[in-house]
Amino acid sequence: MRAVQYSTYGSPADALSVVDVDEPHAGPGAVRVRVEAAGVNPVDWKVVAGAMVGASAGDPVPGGAVTAGKDVAGVVDEVGDGVGDVAVGDRLVGSAASGALAEHAVLDLWARLPETVTAEQAATLPVPAETALRVLELLDLQDGQTLLVDGGAGAVGIAITQIGLARGLRVVSTASEANHDFLVQLGATPTTYGDGLVGRVRAVAPDGVHGALDAAGKGSVPDLVELTGEPSKVVTIADFGAGELGVHVSSGDDERERRVREAVQLAGQGVVLVPVARTYALEDAVAAYEESRSGHVRGKLLVVPR
C-alpha cells in the first residue's frame, strides 16, 4: 500500500515521503480500516520534527520508518481476535496505532459512526474534540460562566466553542480579524490576540472570565492567569513550559476513547462540526503538514487517499 512515512526527524519537506510498504494487519484487540480520510493536527508535524521527544532535525527515528498521523476514519476490513463489537463493513473513526496517512490503518481506539456523519467530518474529530472535552472537564465550568479561548479559529478552538456554547457557557475567542465574522457565526465573542489581551477581554467580558484555554502557545498564559484570577482555571495544550506557572498542561490521558465516542455522539446530534479547511491527496501530504505548520488554518486539514 501507499503510506506517508519518515525515518528521521525534521521538517515535513525534509522528513516525509510517500512510499510503498507492506499493509499492516489487525492484531488481537485491534481493527483495520480502509482509510477514507485522515486528519492533520498541529501535534502531527511536531511529532515529525522530533519536538515531542526532544530530538533534533536529522536524528533517526528509533525502530526505523513509521507512518505519520493519528486521526483517521474508514471502513473496517479486518477484525483482530477478541474484538466482538465490530464487523467488517462497519464505519469507524479513531486513532491509528499504525499511522493514519496510508491506504490502510490499524486502530487502537475507535468509535462507530452514525449515518449522519461522513468520513471527512469524522476525521476532524478525534484530537480536536477529545481535547475540547478534556479541557472542559478540567475547567469544570457551570452554565452561564465565561470561557476564554486563545486560538479560537483552529480545530480545537472551534470544537470547544461549539461544545461550550451547547453547555450554556459564554465563549470569548481570540483570532485574527479575518476570522472574527466566523467566530461570531459560531456564537463566540471575538477579540484579537497579542499585546493588550487583558484589557480587550475585560472590555467584552466585564463580568470576568471563569476559565481559559491556551490553544495557540504564543505566550498568553500569564494573561490568562490574570484574567481568571488563578492558575487552576487555565489549561494549555500548546505551551509545555507553562506548568511552572501552576496551570494545567494537558496532552492526553487514559480516557481518550470515552471522549472520542462522546464527540462522535455530539457530531451525530449536530453539536460539534469542525469545518474542513482543505483536503489534500496522499501524495500532497507534505503540503498539508506545511500548511498546518503555518498556524493559520481555520478548522481542520484532511488527507484523503485517492
The pLDDT tens digits of the residues spanning 155-195 come to 999 999 999 999 999 999 999 999 999 999 999 999 999 99
Same domain flag for 145 and 52: no
Instruction: Please indicate, yes or no, if residue 29 is contained in any of the structural domains.
Output: yes
Instruction: Please indicate, yes or no, if residue 260 is contained in any of the structural domains.
Output: no
% of the chain with per-residue pLDDT over 90: 96
pTM, full prediction: 0.94
Instruction: Please indicate, yes or no, if residue 55 is contained in any of the structural domains.
Output: yes
Instruction: Please indicate, yes or no, if residue 17 is contained in any of the structural domains.
Output: yes
Instruction: Please indicate, yes or no, if residue 261 is contained in any of the structural domains.
Output: no
Same domain flag for 168 and 281: no
What is d(CA 69, CA 227) in angstroms, rounded to the nearest whole number? 35
Where do the DSSP E strands lie in 160-282? Answer: 170-174, 189-191, 211-214, 234-236, 248-249, 276-281
CATH number of the domain enclosing 226: 3.40.50.720
Same domain flag for 8 and 49: yes
pLDDT at residue 93 greater than cutoff 90: yes
Same domain flag for 169 and 219: yes
- Which of 213, 234, 249 lies at the terminal end of a domain, its last residue? 249
Q: How many CB atoms lie within 10 A of CB 90?
A: 17
Select from 147, 146, 142, 174 the least CA-distant residue to 160.
Answer: 147
Contacts of 294 (CB under 8 A, 6+ apart): none
- What does the longest C-alpha to C-alpha distance in the chain come to? 58
Which strand (E) or helix (H) includes residue 104?
strand 104-112
Which strand (E) or helix (H) includes residue 95?
strand 91-96
Instruction: Please indicate, yes or no, if residue 267 is contained in any of the structural domains.
Output: no
Same domain flag for 136 and 231: yes
What is d(CA 205, CA 189) in angstroms, rounded to the nearest whole number? 9
Can you give the residue range of the structural domain that contains 235? Answer: 128-249
Instruction: Please indicate, yes or no, if residue 152 is contained in any of the structural domains.
Output: yes
Render pLDDT for 123-134 as a digit per residue (tens, 0 to 9). 999 999 999 999
Instruction: Please indicate, yes or no, if residue 174 is contained in any of the structural domains.
Output: yes
Select from 220, 254, 251 the least CA-distant residue to 237.
Answer: 251
User: pLDDT value at position 251?
Assistant: 87
What is d(CA 158, CA 183) in angstroms, rounded to the nearest whole number? 8
Render pLDDT for 225-241 as a digit per residue (tens, 0 to 9). 999 999 999 999 999 88
Domain count, the chain: 2
Enter the C-alpha cell of residue 100.
493514519
